[in-house]
Amino acid sequence: MASTSRDAHLNKVCCYSHPEAPLIEDYRAGDMICSECGLVVGDRVIDVGSEWRTFSNEKAGVDPSRVGGPENPLLSGGDLSTMIGPGTGPASFDAFGTAKYQNRRTMSSSDRALIAAFKEISTMADRINLPKTITDRANNLFKQVHDGKNLKGRSNDAKASACLYIACRQEGVPRTFKEICAVSKISKKEIGRCFKLTLKALATSVDLITTADFMSRFCANLDLPNVVQRAATHIARKAVEMDIVPGRSPISVAAAAIYMASQASDNKKTHKEIGDIAGVADVTIRQSYRLMYPHAAELFPEDFNFFTPIDQLPPV
C-alpha cells in the first residue's frame, strides 16, 4: 500500500504518476484510490457522512445515530460534551429511585443558556421565513453579548430578539420592531432598549433603513404589480430627496407612497390594508400622505400610466 502523496504546489492529495487524475473514495475501507492506476494514495479517511439512514415512514421516534449532532463552535468545548440518555434498567437508579446520571452534570449553565437562546432565535427566524445566514449571525451576536456580560439584568429572550433584529439589519433584509415583536415574547420597548445596549456593548453599527428596504416586501404581500411597486419606490425616494416628509420614519413614508401609487392605478388599496401589512397606524399613513399630496405631480415617474388622474386622487 502506498502512503499519502502531496503536490507541493497545489497542496492536495494526489497520485504520484497521475497528479491530475480524480480520486475515488472507498468509504468501506477508508481509502482514496487513483482512478487511473488504482494506487491507494490515502488510507484511514474519516467518513463524515451520516452513520444511519432515516426513512420518512419510520415512526418509532428512536434516533439510531450514536454520534450526536454536529460540532457547534459557539459552545464551550465545541459541543463535544457527553449527553446521557434516560436510564431504563435498575442500574440507572439509586436506592431512592433517583437517576444516577443526569445531563445537568455534563453541561454548564452557560451552555444551557446559549442552547436555549439559539433555539429561541431559530424559532423566531422560522416564523418570519429568515434564511440560515441571518440565524447564524444572530447566534454569533448573542454569543458575544453573553460572553461579555454587558447586558446584565436583561432577559435572554430580549437579548435574542435584539440580536435577530440587528442581524437582519446587517444582512440587508431589515425587519421592523413590530415584526420581531410579533414572533417574540418581549415587548417592543424592551427589544428597542436591548437593541441600543447591544450596539453600544459590541461597538458595532447598522446601516440606516430606507424606504427601499421594505418596498418590495410590502408590495408583494399586498399583491401589487411591479408597475405599482416601481412607482411607489420612485415616489418615496423623491419625497425624501425633496424633504417633503421631515421627521417621518421610512416605514410610514413607504406606506404612504404605496397608498398614493395604488390609488393612481387600477389596484387600489385602503389605508387599513396597507397599515396591516406595514405595521403602521392608519393615522400615520394619512399624515405622511397629506404632506406628499400637494407635490404628487413631481413625485410620480414620468412614464407612469395613470388609471386615475392626479387631480382625482383622494386628498387624504
Nearest to 13 by CA among 1, 37, 31: 31
The whole-chain average pLDDT of the chain stands at 81
Half-sphere exposure of 234 (CA within 13 A, CB side): 16
Q: What is the pLDDT of residues 63-112, one digit of tens each?
A: 555 555 566 677 766 555 556 666 677 777 777 777 766 655 556 778 88
Angle between helices 212-221 and 250-264 (to 10 degrees): 50
pLDDT score of 92: 74
Least confident piece of the model among 50-59, 268-277, 297-306: 50-59
Residue showing cell 440518555:
85
Contact 241, 203 (CB under 8 A): no
pLDDT score of 18: 87
The three three-digit cell numbers of residue 11, written as one number: 497542496
The residues, any chain, with a CB within 8 Å of residue 158's CB and separated by 6 or more, are 186, 190, 191, 193, 194
Domains of the chain, CATH where assigned:
14-44 (2.20.25.10), 109-202 (1.10.472.10), 211-312 (1.10.472.10)
The three three-digit cell numbers of residue 250, written as one number: 421610512
Q: 238-244 long-range CB contacts below 8 Å, 24 or more apart? A: 238/298, 238/299, 239/291, 239/292, 239/295, 239/299, 240/210, 240/211, 242/295, 242/298, 244/291, 244/292, 244/295, 244/299
- Bridge pairing between strands 23-26 and 40-42: unpaired
CA–CA distance, 195 with 197 (Å, rounded to integer): 6
For residue 44, pLDDT beyond 80: no
Q: Residue 70 in 3-state DSSP? A: coil
The pTM of the full predicted model, rounded to 2 decimals, is 0.67
For residue 4, pLDDT beyond 70: no
Q: Taking the CB of residue 202, how many other CB atoms lie within 10 A of it?
A: 15
For residue 7, pLDDT beyond 50: no
DSSP-assigned letter for residue 1:
-
- H or E element at residue 190: helix 188-202
Q: What is the average pLDDT across 148-175?
A: 88
Q: What is the pLDDT of residues 250-276, one digit of tens each?
A: 899 999 999 999 998 888 888 999 998
